[in-house]
A and B are shown apart, each in its own frame.
Chain A
Amino acid sequence: MGQSAGYWVGMVFGIAMGLVAAVAVIKAVKKDGRLKCKYDERQVLVQGKSYKYGFLALLLCLMLDVFLGDLAEGYVEHGVLVFLCVVIGIIVESGYAIWHDGYFSLNEYPKRIVLAFLALSLLNFAVFIRYMQEGELIRDGVVTSSATNLLCAVLLLVVVLMILARYAYGKRRDKG
Chain B
Amino acid sequence: MKNLRLKAARAGLDLSQQELADLVGVSRQTISAIEKGDYNPTINLCIAICRSLGKTLNDLFWDDG
| A residues neighboring B (CB under 8 Å) | 40-43, 101, 106
Among residues 32 to 64 in chain B, which have CB atoms less than 8 Å away from a CB atom of chain A?
A: 33, 39, 41-42, 44-45
A-B contact pairs, 8 of them (CB 8 A): A40-B26, A40-B30, A40-B45, A41-B30, A42-B29, A42-B30, A101-B30, A106-B27
CB <8 Å contact, A40 and B25: yes
Partner pick for A43 among B30, B42, B44, B45, CB 8 A cutoff:
B30
Task: List residues of chain A with CB within 8 A of the CB of B45.
Answer: 40-41
Interface of B is mostly: loop
Contact of A42 among B25, B33, B44 (CB under 8 A): B33
Expressed in whole angstroms, the Cα–Cα distance for A40 and B26 within the complex equals 5
Across the interface, do A41 and B27 meet the contact criterion of CB distance under 8 Å?
no
CB distance from B18 to the nearest CB of A (A): 11
B27 to A43, Cβ gap below 8 A?
yes
Please, how many angstroms separate the alpha-carbon atoms of A4 and B53 in the complex? 67
**Residues on the B chain within 8 Å of A106, using CB:** 25-27
> In the complex, what distance in Å separates the CA atom of A153 from the CA atom of B42?
39
Q: How far is the CA of A83 from the CA of B29 in the complex (A)?
A: 33
Residues of B within 8 A of A41 (CB): 26, 30, 41-42, 44-45
Contact with A along B8-28 (1 / 0, CB 8 A): 000000000000000001110
**Contact at A40–B42, with CB atoms within 8 Å?**
no
- The residues of A that contact B44 with a CB separation of less than 8 Å are 41
A43 to B29, CA, bound (A): 9
Q: Which residue of B lies closest to A40 (CB)?
A: B26
Residues of A within 8 A of B42 (CB): 41
Q: Which residue of B lies closest to A173 (CB)?
A: B32
Known: A40-B45, A42-B30, A106-B25. 9 other contacts (CB 8 A): A40-B26, A40-B30, A41-B30, A41-B42, A42-B27, A42-B39, A42-B41, A101-B30, A106-B26
Alpha-carbon separation in the docked complex, A40 to B20 (Å): 14
Minimum CB–CB distance from A52 to chain B (whole Å) comes to 18
Q: Please name the 5 residue pairs, one residue from A and one from B, whose CB atoms are nearest each other, closest first.
A: A40-B26, A101-B29, A42-B30, A42-B39, A40-B30
Q: Which residues of B contact A42 (CB under 8 A)?
A: 26-27, 29-30, 33, 39, 41
